[in-house]
Each structure stands twice: as C-alpha cells, then as structure tokens.
Chain A
Amino acid sequence: QKEVEQNSGPLSVPEGAIASLNCTYSDRVSQSFFWYRQYSGKSPELIMSIYSNGDKEDGRFTAQLNKASQYVSLLIRDSQPSDSATYLCAVIGGTSYGKLTFGQGTILTVHP
C-alpha cells in the first residue's frame, strides 16, 4: 500500500463546475496535509495547507480533512481552464520532521 494515494485521473470537468480531488494516507498519526498544483514542466505551487479536521476555505478552494477516515480532499469551485494542472497531495507523517510524502498526483482538465 502506498503511503499517500490519489486517483491519477485524468479528471475532466466543464468550466464553472466543481472539481473534487481526493487523497488517502496510510500513516494514522499524520498531522499536516498540503495540496500543491503543478503545471507541466513547472514546480509544485502550494495551494492549501490543513492541520485540523473539517473544512478550510481559501477563495475558490476548499480543503477537507477527516483524520478518522485518513482522507483529505480538495474542492475547486467555479473551475476555470487555467485550473488545468496536476494536483499533488502531500502529507507530513507523525514521525517525520518536515518530510513531505507525496501522492502520484491527479491530472485535472477543465474544458470550456
């Protein structure tokens, strides 16, 4: 079992729709969770961090964390073609000192 798992996609949504990206993790004592966006050939760009159970909203983005289910998600409202990218889920495990463990990423395509 991989430490951090994401559906590789591609996930295709129409412009204006809600895109839902999911991630599960295996280390039950993980405390810190991050979503990065990566355009082709570019570096990962931090979108959201979440540390507590529940929802965290920032503009069109909402991160949701459920530690009991070991599940974290990212919702993108009013999706735009410019949101088309690979979305990376990253976790800092309970015994790690800042070490990020990444999922393989989900490719999102927003079509006009």
Chain B
Amino acid sequence: EAGVTQFPSHSVIEKGQTVTLRCDPISGHDNLYWYRRVMGKEIKFLLHFVKESKQDESGMPNNRFLAERTGGTYSTLKVQPAELEDSGVYFCASSQSGRWDNEQFFGPGTRLTVL
C-alpha cells in the first residue's frame, strides 16, 4: 500500500511569489492533516479535512494560506503571497475514518524556502 505522498519535495521561491503544495493521502483515508515545522520549533498543526470538508482550520497562520481538498482525495495548500516567515517543512498526514484519534501517517514533507 502506498504511503502519503507530497509534491514537490523542495521549493525555493522569492518573497511575494505563490507556491502550491500537494498531498496525496493513503488511499481510503478520509482524514487529511497539514502540519508545519519552522526551523527550531516543534511541528505545528495547520488544518484538518474530513473528506472534502474543513473540520478544523484553527492552525492556519493567516489568509495568505488556502487549503483545498476537492473531491475528498488529494489536497493542495497554496501560499500567496509568500513571506520569509513561511519557510519551513510542510507535512501532510492522513488517517482512517472512524475514530477521530486514529493513528496518523505522515508524508515526506515539502521543504519551502522563501528568499
């Protein structure tokens, strides 16, 4: 069974540009999460989808971040316009439906560098 995949693995952009990150969860996993690790800090929650619906977006830093999950399959996270403080590693995780505290499996992450 394929794990969570993310694309791209690295992205280097200039401040003010737009970047879109993609996450493909494990097949059949209804729950999809985005997390971020900024240099020197712990991994922080961004948001949670259940199928195509946003269950919790309390961790989204501001309105420059837009997440979508059309059709309840893959998800995208767009940052527009990017700022220096957006640099970090963005992880996606997925879990099965049913219990809300099911185990979450992480993708390899996208390392975003904003210059």
Residues in chain A within 8 A of chain B (CB atoms)? 4, 31-32, 34, 36, 42-46, 49, 51, 88, 90, 92, 96-105
Contact = CB atoms under 8 A, between A and B. Distances in A.
A98 B55 CA distance: 10
Given A43-B108, A104-B42, A105-B42, A99 B103 contact: no
Contact of A103 (B42, B56, B91): B42
Interface of B: 31, 33, 35, 41-45, 48, 55-56, 58-59, 91, 93, 95, 100-109
13 contacts: A4-B42, A32-B101, A43-B106, A43-B109, A46-B103, A46-B105, A90-B43, A97-B55, A99-B48, A100-B43, A102-B42, A102-B44, A104-B42
Given A31-B101, A32-B101, A44-B91, A101 B107 contact: no
Nearest to A3: B42
Contact of A98 (B41, B95, B107): B95
B35 A100 contact: yes
B43 A98 contact: no
Nearest to A49: B103
B105 A99 contact: no
Contacts of A44: 43, 91, 106
Given A42-B108, A43-B91, A43-B109, A98 B103 contact: no
